[in-house]
Structure 1
Amino acid sequence: METHLNPLPFFFSIFFTIYVIAYFLLFRNWSPKIRPEAASCAISFAHGTPAVFLASGAILSDAGRGFASPNSDLQNLVLDYSIAYFLMDLLHYLIFFPSDLLFIAHHLVTLFVFVTCRYLVSHGAYAILVLLILAEVTSFCQNVWTLARARRADVEFADRVYNILSPPFYVLYSIVRGFVGPYFLYKMGEFFFNGGAETVIPTWVWMSWIFVVAAAISVSILWITNLWVELYRERSSKLEKKGR
């Protein structure tokens, strides 16, 4: 009799190991205030870009892909991979930043979407994985930017990386989260609201997906808008000082 082992514990152990190595070895000489964030970036590096390629492969390998199509085995594997990452990063926030309710809520609702798609309805992975790609395609730049920002005050090279990387990262993030993401969400909502998944995905499930993604995109737009304002103020201040 053939048995299928759930890969979720294995994936979680990988992210846990990476986090521990990053926290206690890779970033051991960093300030205790920023070591947890740096370790979180380490597991994000291990998840983000690989997830983009894995999700892309899982989507392209499914000839019958669609908003309400059944999940393929490879698509479920990618979902498990991402569930493991968000569980590990949620644990990170609960231990080190328990008052950061926005990120904790973000991880909880993201896990809700992945878990319901993977284990409750077993349909709709195409839509969820496209959204995963859009969310993670900027993760490499964001992690480098985050690490540089954390050390820019005491490391000159980090400050240079931060200043050089900020504009292109902001542009890429703005395009993905401000235009591509909302457009895909619109097409997804159009399909579901027209009853395209009524026989395989309960209404409360797909409506919750739409709500969660819309909220996440809104928060992302607000975040990047604030960063653009901050960058403008920093550059304007530098120009004023040079002009004196």
Structure 2
Amino acid sequence: MYLIIYLLAYFGVFRNWDPKLRPEASSCLISFAHGTPAVILASLAVKTQLSNRGFASPNSNFQNMVLEYSIAYFLMDLVHYLIFFPSDVLFIGHHLATLFVFATCRYLVIHGAFAILVLLVLAEVTSFCQNTWTLASARKGDLGSASRLYQVLSPPFYVFYSIVRGFAGPLFVYEMGAFYLSGAADNVIPRWLWVSWMIVVVTAIGVSIMWIANLWVELFRDRNEKVEEKLQ
């Protein structure tokens, strides 16, 4: 499904875009197809499976399906980066690490999907705004409407992203880590595995915080420069 969407985007939707921008735009389109549906599906999988709401609970069939849905997306986007941006070690490493977490949860221990799906919701709830912002950023230099959308969308997107990745995410990860450190999951999720999960998650959140912090710095710098230009 994601391959078809990517090809339709590359050869159809964005066929008139600059060849340098088409791969990134196509990646955004498959991210649109994954992000919001994944949030809805993961939320339903967590809320409807009342007996499986725990950091060490067994995965339900529905939860496994949502994990597979996301595994398919990250595999497709990983192929995209390996073909078009093989030097982008950060994103390639992120996708490989995410696939490791999802695949081991789904196929190795078949436990812990509750925690992984909550993290998926926190990771993807901002994806619609982020993909829209990314597409606007790509065309802001040559398209007036894209430039205006980028300027309008940037502050609220930054605030939303900061709240999710800077507060909600770390809070949940703290609860997750405290549970695993208690040893309550060691009989179903080996210690080496949940430690690996925690390293991946903490690293991802740390990188996200640094990314959004840099965007805030750029935003304030640009605003200050515009104010100084008007005063001159």
Q: What interval of TM-score do these two structures reach, taking the shorter chain for normalisation?
A: over 0.9
Residues 52-90 of structure 1: per-residue CA shift (max 9 Å, x gap):
000000001111110000000000000000000000000
Q: 1:85 aligns with which of 67, 73, 83?
A: 73
Tell me what 1:7 maps to: none
1:46 aligns with 2:33: yes
C-alpha separation between the residues in 1 aligned to 2:27 and 2:222? 27
The aligned counterpart of 2:166 is 178
Q: Deviations over 1:91-120 (max 9, x none)?
A: 000000000000000000000000000000
Matched with 1:18 is: 5
CA distance in 2, matches of 1:63, 1:54: 15
Matched, 1:192 2:180: yes
* Structure 1 Cα separation of the partners of residues 2 and 225 of structure 2: 41
Cα distance in 2 between the residues matched to 1:46 and 1:241: 41
Does structure 1 residue 37 correspond to structure 2 residue 33? no
Aligned residue pairs total 231
Matches within 5 A, 1:2-151: 14-64=1-51, 65-151=53-139
How far is the alpha carbon of 1:47 from its aligned partner? 0.1
1:209 aligns with 2:197: yes
Q: Compute the TM-score of the two structures, normalised by the length of structure 1.
A: 0.94
Instruction: Kindly report the root-mean-square deviation, in angstroms, between the aligned alpha carbons of the 2 structures.
Output: 0.4
The amino acid across from 2:29 in the alignment is A
Moved more, 57-66 or 160-169: 57-66
1:237 and 2:228 are equivalent in the alignment: no
Residue from 140, 145, 154 that aligns with 1:166: 154
Inter-partner Cα distance in structure 1 for 2:223 and 2:21: 25
Structure 1 residue ranges (4+ consecutive) displaced by more than 3 angstroms after TM superposition = none
Deviation, 1:141, is 0.1
Structure 2 distance, partners of 1:63, 1:149, is: 41
TM-score, scaled to structure 2: 0.99
Amino acid at match of 1:49: T
Describe the SS at the equivalent of 1:196: coil
Letter paired with 2:144: E
After superposition, the C-alpha distances for 1:218-244 in whole angstroms (9 at most, x for unaligned) are 000000000000111111111111112
Q: Percent of aligned positions with the same letter in both sequences?
A: 68
Q: Hey, what's the Cα distance between the residues in 2 that align with 1:62 and 1:243? A: 59
State the distance in 2 between where 1:182 and 1:196 align. 21
Determine the C-alpha separation between the residues in 1 that align with 2:21 and 2:67.
29
Name structure 1 gaps, 5 residues minimum.
1-13
Cα drift, residue 127 of structure 1: 0.1
